[in-house]
Amino acid sequence: MTRLYHGGLRHERIRRLSTMLMAGVTAIAAVLLTAPRPAAAADTPWLDVSADRYATFSVPAAYVQTNVGQVSQVVIEGNFGPSSGWTEFGLTRRGDAWSGTLGPLKPGLYYYQVTADDTKSFKEPTNGTGVAAKPLWSTFLVAGDSARLLADAPQGGTVQTLTYRTKQQQRSALVWTPPGYSAKPGKPYPVLYLQSGTDRSASDWLDLGRAKQILDNLSADRAIEPMVVVITDGRGPDDDKELKDLRKAVGDAYRVHHDREHQAIAGVSEGGAQALRAALTGPGQFAYAGSFSGLLTEVAGKPGPGAGKLVRLYTGNVTDPAYNATVRLTKALDRARVKYEFDGVNPDGGPNWAAWQENLIDFLPRLFRKAGDHGPSDGHGPLKGEFTPPAPGTTPTPFIKDGFVTFETTTEYKDAQHVTVWANIAPGGSWLRVPMSREGDRWRVTIGPLEPWFYYYRWIVDRVGVKDASNPTKVTSEPAWSTFLVPGEAARLLTDVPAGQGGKVESLTYRSNVANADRTALVWTPPGYDPDRAEPYPVLYLQHGSGQNYTDWTEMGRAKQILDHQFLDGDLTPMVVVMGNGNSSNFTKELLENIVPAARARYHISDDPSRQALAGLSMGGGQAIGVLKAYPGRFAYVAAFSAGFGGGTGVDVAAINSGTKLFRVYVGDVTDFVYPSFMAGLTTMDNLGVRYEFDGVTPGPHGWDVWQKNLIDLAPRLFKS
């Protein structure tokens, strides 16, 4: 890791907050490629997306009050969750607006609506994009290489509406024709029928699937054969008859082939099942078929091995209802000896348009030409059998398997109207609420995949936070929280070491002359701690933040697990770590007159400044900096996590620089609310000449994901020359 000192090149400091904290800047025009209608001159955009993919929402409180009345909460509902799942991002009331920043978001299309008090939903009025089938939704596109095909192409095809008559009623479909298409006599085009499914609108393929952009870009890249694409919802009392009527109407209105070799069909969800039925039960109609999260599980009749040139199946991970359906379907196709291709399990795909966009991008280049490969997409894996969480009420929650987490409430909330899981599952450890579904007298949801790490959560039941009573973990300072760990190599330092191999955590009771009461600290001693050894141990005084207490570094910060692993790995100088109570009207006095003397009286620790360290998070980081300013040189090692340096008046720079071996500062990204004051503090220190280290932001918000990583980085640096 590069160490960056005063006067060095701190590249991370180039990042600025302007695009994140000020609405209405021009960055939105560069990133939101969905061509919003111009807002009225008096309107300030509610959404700003920075060039580094952070989305800031700012909802005027006056607008909310006028349109839905007095409310207690405002959230942005959208596809921000794991596997692009639907979640709620809670906003905070700050002055005259409800606001919040989320990110960094992966490149792609996002759709959202604003909701107050669980039920009062409305469209964001300053974003002119829309979703025809969902009038309250708006969209925005986060640019990036992986989303290149979702952006508008300079020259594309044309989308028209085709109206046709069935026996029952008049129907319509959307038809994309490629650049250069002409209705004049000439060589006919092959045709793809693209189904949206019975629970979705045909227009969803344009508004959410970005089908036009995908087709336009692939055409410009010459990656697909010129074709006509007919988009329909697939709904009708007789799907097979509806499809025949549609095909006849297309043949009458467009210059297309009519033979099987130039006919393809695909669809999402039930539309995918319809596509497979059309291809497998009538093998003379379509030579190509694609099922995107299709729900077909059996093969009717005996289609035989020559059912089509291409039958390709797509599914998301276990959060996709099509996952289990695909397990059953592949077995049925194998029994029927039907030749098919499987794109593999999309590990980050759920039952939503983010996955289906990828499916369409993979499927289109395989049509009406010889495909270069027939295997799964890069990174996609095999089916591993059906996924079945335990039956309701049979297991403590959460149930964790392969990074997927199933939450379940007790029956206590059977009469609730709206239940969510609030957890640190957003990028960098920010917080999102995942709606749960009622299953009998319980509420349940499966989310994932979650990266291996430590997570904390609570239920939000009709806007009230409550604890998961089935989870025995506890957080003393936040009784409604529960915790869990997703295992994996990335989370190794946060896991328990084998029994008997780690250090010990003991309670230390001491008298506080500041609080005029007995208080408690927790103390970690390393494995093999010897109170009689000749040399005293170095000591780190590790402080918590505001609203927390001395238990948080062990219950939430995983300090014991981190220190145990680093000691056993040989990365840690044997030391004693004292986690004191920083809730004090005069922390400096509390530390120097109470915590430090009590620790020295009980433990064999050094009083040499060069063998003492002080660090803390948020409020505790500010307290550490306060001690550094007031008593420079008292602690040779000082670190602050998510805390600003403050003002420079009265700072003895020479004493700090000469008496401090290491002064290292940390901060989260722009979702950490102290980021502005932190960056201002760097400028103050630069101007004063204070020597410090800062190695760039730690991705994440003002939360434990960041502070755990800060401790992991800091601890091995202590007491080493």
- pLDDT > 50? residue 695: yes
- pLDDT > 50? residue 235: yes
Query: Quick one: pLDDT at residue 47?
Result: 98
Q: Are 122 and 114 in contact (CB under 8 A)?
A: yes
Q: Which residues pair with 192 in a beta bridge?
A: 229, 264
- Domains 15-148 and 399-487 equal at CATH topology level: yes
Cβ neighbours of 630 (radius 10 Å): 13
Kind of pairing between the strands at 97-102 and 92-94: antiparallel
Q: How is residue 608 written in tokens?
A: 């040499």
**Exposure string over 148-184, b if 16+ CB within 10 A, otherwise e:** ebbbebeebbebeebebebeeeebebbbbbbeebeee
Most confident of 8-22, 230-244, 689-703: 689-703
Q: Name residue, tokens 């008859």.
A: 241
User: Which pLDDT band holds residue 29 (cuts at 50, 70, 90)?
Assistant: very low
Over residues 445-467, the mean pLDDT reads 97
The two counts, helices (H) then strands (E), for the chain are 17, 33
User: Which pLDDT band holds residue 242 (cuts at 50, 70, 90)?
Assistant: confident
- pLDDT > 70? residue 12: no
535-539, 631-635, 717-721: least confidently modelled range = 717-721
Kind of pairing between the strands at 55-60 and 288-292: unpaired
- pLDDT > 70? residue 32: no
More confident residue, 484 or 308: 484
Helix (H) or strand (E) holding 211: helix 211-220
- DSSP string spanning 213-248? HHHHHHHHTT-S---EEEEE---SSSHHHHHHHHHH
Q: What superfamily in CATH does domain 399-487 come from?
A: Immunoglobulins (2.60.40.10)
Query: Quick one: pLDDT at residue 374?
Result: 93
User: Which pLDDT band holds residue 304 (cuts at 50, 70, 90)?
Assistant: low
- DSSP string spanning 388-413? -PPPTTSSPSPEEETTEEEEE--GGG
Q: Are 294 and 272 in contact (CB under 8 A)?
A: yes
Query: Quick one: pLDDT at residue 240?
Result: 74
Query: Quick one: pLDDT at residue 306?
Result: 55
- pLDDT > 60? residue 193: yes
User: Which pLDDT band holds residue 78 (cuts at 50, 70, 90)?
Assistant: very high
Q: What is the pLDDT of residues 92-117, one digit of tens each?
A: 999 999 999 999 999 999 999 999 99
Q: Tell me 544's DSSP state.
A: -
Topology annotation, domain 497-717: Rossmann fold (3.40.50)
- pLDDT > 50? residue 204: yes
Name every residue whose Cβ is closer than 8 Å to that of residue 237 and which is 6 or more positions away in sequence: 168
Average pLDDT of the chain?
91
- pLDDT > 60? residue 189: yes
| Among the listed residues 318, 269, 316, the one whose alpha carbon sits nearest the alpha carbon of residue 296 | 269
Kind of pairing between the strands at 341-345 and 310-315: parallel
**Where does residue 437 rank: exposed (0-12), middle (13-18), buried (19+ CB within 10 A)?**
exposed
Q: What is the pLDDT of residues 328-351, one digit of tens each?
A: 999 999 998 999 999 999 999 999
User: Which pLDDT band holds residue 305 (cuts at 50, 70, 90)?
Assistant: low
Q: What is the pLDDT of residues 480-513, one digit of tens each?
A: 999 999 999 999 999 999 999 999 999 999 999 9
- How many Cα atoms sit within 13 Å of 182 on the Cβ side? 5
- DSSP string spanning 506-528? EEEEEEETTTTEEEEEEEEE-TT
Phi-psi region of 246 (alpha: psi -120 to 50; beta: other; left: phi over 0): alpha
Query: Quick one: pLDDT at residue 396?
Result: 80
Q: Which residues pair with 111 in a beta bridge?
A: 139
Q: Are 316 and 288 in contact (CB under 8 A)?
A: no
Rounded CA gap, 43 and 362, in Å? 40
Percent of the chain exceeding pLDDT 90 equals: 84
Q: How is residue 22 written in tokens?
A: 């000020």
Rounded CA gap, 502 and 499, in Å? 7
Rounded CA gap, 667 and 697, in Å? 5
Q: Are 325 and 294 in contact (CB under 8 A)?
A: yes
| Among the listed residues 241, 336, 356, 335, the one whose alpha carbon sits nearest the alpha carbon of residue 293 | 356
Q: What is the pLDDT of residues 524-561, one digit of tens each?
A: 999 999 999 999 999 999 999 999 999 999 999 999 99
Over residues 261-277, the mean pLDDT reads 93
> Domain locations in the chain?
15-148, 153-366, 399-487, 497-717
55-64, 152-161, 224-233, 389-398: least confidently modelled range = 389-398
- DSSP string spanning 70-86? S-S-EEEEES-SGGG--
Q: Where are the beta strands (DSSP E) in 79-217?
A: 87-90, 92-94, 97-102, 108-116, 120-122, 138-142, 158-165, 170-177, 191-195
Q: Which residues pair with 101 in a beta bridge?
A: 56
Q: What is the pLDDT of residues 38-61, one digit of tens each?
A: 343 347 999 999 999 999 999 999
Output the 3-class SS for 422-490: EECCCHHHCCEEEECEEECCEEEEEECCCCCEEEEEEEEECCEEECCCCCCCCCCCCCCCEEEEECCHH
- How many Cα atoms sit within 13 Å of 645 on the Cβ side? 28
- pLDDT > 80? residue 372: yes
**3-class DSSP assignment, residue 497:** coil
Q: Name residue, tokens 């950490």.
A: 672
Percent of the chain exceeding pLDDT 70 equals: 92
- pLDDT > 60? residue 297: yes
- pLDDT > 90? residue 661: yes
Rounded CA gap, 72 and 116, in Å? 8
Structure pTM?
0.90
Q: Are 444 and 392 in contact (CB under 8 A)?
A: yes
- pLDDT > 70? residue 252: yes
Distance from first CA to last CA of the chain, Å, rounded? 16
| Among the listed residues 41, 207, 231, the one whose alpha carbon sits nearest the alpha carbon of residue 138 | 207
Task: Please report, to the nearest 10 degrees, the dihedral formed by the alpha carbons of residues 147, 34, 112, 457 taken in order.
Answer: 30
Topology annotation, domain 15-148: Immunoglobulin-like (2.60.40)
Q: What is the CATH number of domain 153-366?
A: 3.40.50.1820
